[in-house]
Amino acid sequence: MAPNPSDAATRPARDEALLGVLAPSLYADHVKVYPRAVRGYFRTIKWVVLAACLAIYYALPWLRWDRGPGAPDQALLLDMSGPRGYVFNLEIWPQEVYYITGLLILGALALFLATALFGRVWCGYACPQTVWTDLFLAVERWIEGDRNARIKRDAQPMNANKALRKGAKHALWLLISAATGGAWIMYFVDAPTVTRAIATGAASGATYFFFALFTLTTYGLAGWAREQVCTYMCPWPRIQAAMQDEHSLIVTYQGWRGETRGKHKAGDSWDGRGDCIDCRACVHVCPTGIDIRNGQQMECIGCSLCIDACDEMMDKVGRPQRLIDFVSLSNLENRAKAQPTALKLLRTRTALYAALLLAVAAVMLVALGLRSDIVFTAQQDRNPLHVVLSDGAIRNGYVVKVSNKTRAPMHLRLSAEGLDGADLFLAGEPGRHAALDLSIEPDEIAEYHVFLRAPRRTSGLTGLSLVLRDRSGRDVERLRTQFSMP
């Protein structure tokens, strides 16, 4: 019997429908989170941290620092055109990028230590995504109202009032985003100069591109993505559990005290039931929309706002506060058994993180303390390795580089030690000398092609030292190298 063409046409649709029944989709549509405003101890801390972080971020590029004539006067500046990094009185050259590596290692170890001690305190309080999302939410509440008002308004069809409030909110969001994007550029270009250029239309195309990029990034992440950045984009929730143990302080629901939960009316007895009245206040204030009563979850950023919300409800129903608490799992278990609790901050992992943090900090301080104002290098010519002169003497060539990291010119003398009868001369200049006079301009790298001539003795390689001295004859830098003879 020949197949029916209509069966072939409808088979994919039937298969897709059958697949939907047998294997439901693992993806769910995003449900918008409407966090409710809350007051309390932890909310106050978050406001203080938010204000401090924003003040530092926006104000730091405008802080001036006098480095003398010819040097930028911005306290913190990563000058990509220089290229130099200026951190108050410290000037970092490109070849000193290891200092940045050290700072990144310090930051990572500090984050590991903070997580081992206090859980996701960074995510909940100081992460830029959290700080700017909190700021955008404050603007949203100010213009559109709190949780219930925003839910009701979003469910309504568009009208003049809704359009006006939405427009004002997004306009203010874009204004904050523009200030944020502009401030980020100021860390790479002088703040007053780039602000004036952007405002007057005199900035370069690259400046406007990055200004728009950072503005839209802030607007999209803090205004629209919000908790989805923490849940889907950030890798830290997936690895932070490895930094914690049973003694790490975390935000958790004390089920031993709250269950069995249920609604409670004034005058009802509390016998045979828990303190949780199932009001869902903890869910309504959560910036990621989770229910902390379901236990530890990847989406929890440890902001502790659920503690403030629950404490407020416990006060209203006359029950003790901290049904949701900032407590370690070991102490939570001890509380459930009515056993003594103790805060155990010093542990093997915290001691290890602290020791590594101190070690890296000590290495960084020593490196900064031993940092020289001169970088002296000499690369021996390889082709040819040596030249036999007409009088039988041997000549070797070296590319000598001297970096002057100061803001004053340097006048130095280069000589060779450890090779009897040797003299030096510069390529293209007549005359041989026991020492060469070198001049290096401020904040510059001078390069010289130096020839070293010595009488022929034994064959092979002979060690020697190239020495830089100042005008007073004091050794400034000394470099070990070699002289090749046939």
CATH number for the domain that contains residue 415 = 2.60.40.10
- Dist. CA 292–CA 120, nearest whole Å: 14
Judge whether 448 and 400 are in contact, CB under 8 Å.
yes
State the pLDDT at residue 46. 97
Helix axis angle, 348-369 to 98-118, nearest 10°? 160
Q: Among positive and negative, which fits the CA dihedral 322, 323, 326, 329?
A: positive
One domain, residues 364 and 387: no
Domain boundary among 371, 386, 405: 371
Domain finish residue from 371, 391, 416: 371
403 and 264, same structural domain?
A: no
Report the number of distinct structural domains present in the chain: 2
Whether 229 is covered by a domain: the verdict is: yes
Neighbours of 19 (CB within 10 A): 11
Q: Rounded to two decimals, what is the model's pTM?
A: 0.84
366 and 421 housed in the same domain: no
Do residue 380 and residue 265 come from a single domain? no
Residue after which a domain boundary falls, among 355, 371, 387? 371
What residues make up the domain containing 470? 374-485
**Claim to verify: residue 247 and residue 336 sit in the same structural domain:** yes
Cite the beta strand spans of 34-152 per DSSP E: 76-79, 84-87, 90-92
In a domain, 153, yes or no: no
pLDDT of 427: 86
Can you give the pLDDT at residue 172? Answer: 98
**Which pLDDT value is given to residue 303?**
95
Verify that 317 and 407 share a domain, yes or no. no
Helix (H) / strand (E) element for 250: namely strand 250-253
Instruction: Tell me: do 129 and 266 sit in the same domain.
Output: yes
One pLDDT digit (tens) per residue for the chain, 486 residues:
455 555 555 555 555 554 455 555 666 677 899 999 999 999 999 999 999 999 999 999 999 998 877 788 999 999 888 788 999 988 888 888 889 899 999 999 999 999 999 999 999 999 999 999 999 999 999 999 999 999 999 999 999 999 999 999 999 999 999 999 999 999 999 999 999 999 999 999 999 999 999 999 999 999 999 999 999 999 988 888 889 999 999 999 999 999 999 998 888 889 989 999 999 999 999 999 999 999 989 999 999 999 999 999 999 999 999 999 999 999 999 999 999 999 999 999 999 999 999 999 999 999 988 888 888 999 999 888 888 988 889 999 999 999 988 888 889 999 998 888 888 998 888 778 888 889 898 888 899 999 999 988 777 888 899 999 988 888 888 999 999 888
Instruction: State the pLDDT at residue 434.
Output: 86
CA pseudo-torsion sign 420, 424, 430, 436: negative
Rounded distance, CA 81 to CA 238, Å? 38
Q: What is the pLDDT of residue 7?
A: 54
Cite the beta strand spans of 312-459 per DSSP E: 324-327, 374-380, 387-388, 394-404, 410-417, 423-426, 435-440, 444-454
455 and 413 assigned to the same domain: yes
Give the neighbor-by-neighbor strand order of the sheet with 460-469.
435-440, 410-417, 460-469, 475-485
- Alpha helices of 344-402 — where are they, by DSSP H? 348-369
Same domain, 331 and 426: no
Q: Measure the CA–CA gap between 34 and 155, rounded to whole angstroms.
A: 13
State residue 226's pLDDT score. Answer: 94
What pLDDT sits at residue 486? Answer: 80
What pLDDT, on the 0 to 100 scale, is given for residue 57?
97
Specify which residues 284 forms β-bridges with.
none
Q: Is residue 287 part of a domain?
A: yes
